[in-house]
Chain A
Amino acid sequence: MKDSLKLVSKITAHPDSRCWFVAWNPKGTLLASSGGDRSIRIWGREGDSWVCKSVLEEGHQRTVRKVAWSPCGNYLASASFDATTCIWRKKQDDFECVTTLEGHENEVKCVAWAPSGNLLATCSRDKSVWVWEVDEEDEYECVSVVNSHTQDVKHVVWHPNQEILASASYDNSVKLYKEDDDDWVCRDTLEGHESTVWSVDFDKSGQRLASCSDDKTVKIWREYEPGNEQGVVCNGTAPTWKCICTLSGFHSRSIYDISWCHLSGAMATACGDDAIRVFEEDTTSDPHQPTFSLAAHVPKAHDQDVNCVSWNPKEVGLLASCSDDGDIGIWSYQPQH
């Protein structure tokens, strides 16, 4: 496992501030970062180095917690502690703020686009998850407010190919939502973590979900349809999600983010102990009781907490990370079989 994760580049992205989040555009050519300095920066590769292509300021009054690209790559959404979400439209190398989505009572913690690009989800410290519909005129309308969590909602992510939404919360649970009769409803609550769930990510198939928590564990959940051979009990016609694996003992502090690569299946974690770790599923393990091995561990990946990890969607093994130290790290992962 030695040297399987190598540093390609370190970028001073948000000096004198935290870098909270990084997100690749769908083509994998641009990386957006957000920080405590209220700005969003867009990074692109020029030869061997990464350069800042644009700085998006004046959209938010407070910390920009997370950003998300639309599936077409022409829009960027930003979630801020100022209780709003901004939508930015790309114009060549520049971005302009075209809409500000308002309604949450306080800090917006996360934003995510559905694979179709027609739906957007936001979540907030006000405990709610909002689903927004985007029409052809670029108008955004809130179609549902779901108050299923009992605490601060930290993260939202869409299923890779279905209109299913997952959220993670300070109430220690993960919830899954589906549209039902023009309204969005909670279909399943995944309980098992003993503290805040900071992030969730689906695998490529969307049949499995990985969650990471302040309890220092990662859990893998699997969807079981009614009538499944394994005898997992379902409530009526809805599928049920069951925890099939817990990775414990690997992380020494809170795990702030998890990214499950859709190209390689490798799973990366961002931890409050400054380390980045990569896990690989053991190919011979039972799919209903899988085991994972630590395939890479960089103890001092950053000088402070690692807040986010993100696999490039097109280039296998290219990983971006960011930290409280304000830096972005670009890494190259080489599995060693």
Chain B
Amino acid sequence: MGGGTRLENANPLIFQRSGERQLTTEEEDEEFADPIDDREIFDLIRTINDPEHPLSLEELNVVEQVRVRVNDNDSTVSVEFTPTIPHCSMATLIGLSIKVKLLRSLPERFKIDVHITPGTHASEQAVNKQLGDKERVAAALENSHLLEVVNQCLSGRS
């Protein structure tokens, strides 16, 4: 994160960004009850910045649309994210950023679960447990330093 420190993963693979979403005529109709779908959730999180590279989570393949599952009827959203390397120390911070982005963007009725893609991180269980503990997430977000780092990840890039 800080300038001059050695990067954990110096040469990450970079993936193609997906194009703009095509709006259907129904979606453009304000009267039409339009449930939130996977693509909309993906659009909310794909532009989140990686904490150590000037790249988005989508460009690093940390988030993919196929790993987003939303059920508007049940008000549930589940996102799996894939750290670029199995020992990535930023995994919790990345997961927290995804969680905060969704907490801020979605209606409050949604239950948001953020997990590491199974088998892609050495401390998968510990990170998942931490991200699933709303009391610890609440305490973390009262920490102004951490909140600043999260907000940096969430600040939009063009």
Contact = CB atoms under 8 A, between A and B. Distances in A.
Interface of A: 18, 36, 62-63, 65, 81, 106-107, 109, 125, 152, 154, 170, 195-196, 214, 253-254, 272-273, 303-305, 324-325
Q: Is the interface of B mostly helix, strand, loop or mixed?
A: helix
A36 B138 CA distance: 9
A303 B134 contact: no
A122 to B, nearest CB: 16
Interface string B86-121: 000000000000000000000011010000000000
B136 interface: yes
5 contacts: A152-B136, A154-B135, A195-B129, A304-B108, A305-B134
Contact of B133 (A196, A253, A273): A196
A63 B135 CA distance: 10
Interface in B130-146: 132-136, 138-139, 142
B129 A196 contact: yes
Given A62-B142, A63-B142, A303 B109 contact: yes
B109 A81 contact: no
Please name the 7 residue pairs, one residue from A and one from B, whose CB atoms are nearest each other, closest first.
Answer: A107-B139, A81-B139, A62-B142, A304-B108, A81-B142, A63-B142, A63-B138
A62 B135 CA distance: 13
A170 to B, nearest CB: 7
B111 A253 contact: yes
A138 B108 CA distance: 43
B24 to A, nearest CB: 30
A62 B138 CA distance: 11
Contacts of A36: 138
Interface in B2-53: none
A109 B142 contact: no
Nearest to A62: B142
B62 to A, nearest CB: 25
Contacts of B135: 65, 109, 154
B95 to A, nearest CB: 17
A270 to B, nearest CB: 13
Contacts of B136: 125, 152
B67 to A, nearest CB: 21
Contacts of B138: 18, 36, 63, 81
Contacts of A125: 136, 139
A212 to B, nearest CB: 14
A255 B57 CA distance: 32
Interface in B52-108: 108
Contacts of A254: 132
Given A63-B142, A195-B129, A304-B108, 7 more contacts: A81-B142, A125-B139, A152-B136, A154-B135, A196-B129, A196-B133, A214-B129
B142 A214 contact: no
A169 B129 CA distance: 13
Contacts of A272: 111, 134
Contacts of A107: 139
Given A196-B133, A214-B132, A304 B109 contact: yes
A196 B27 CA distance: 42
Contacts of A214: 129, 132-133
Contacts of B134: 272, 305, 324
Contacts of B142: 62-63, 81
A325 B109 CA distance: 9
B108 A325 contact: yes
Contacts of A253: 111
A324 B129 CA distance: 20
A136 to B, nearest CB: 36
A324 B105 CA distance: 17
A63 B138 CA distance: 9
A18 B135 CA distance: 11
A195 B108 CA distance: 25
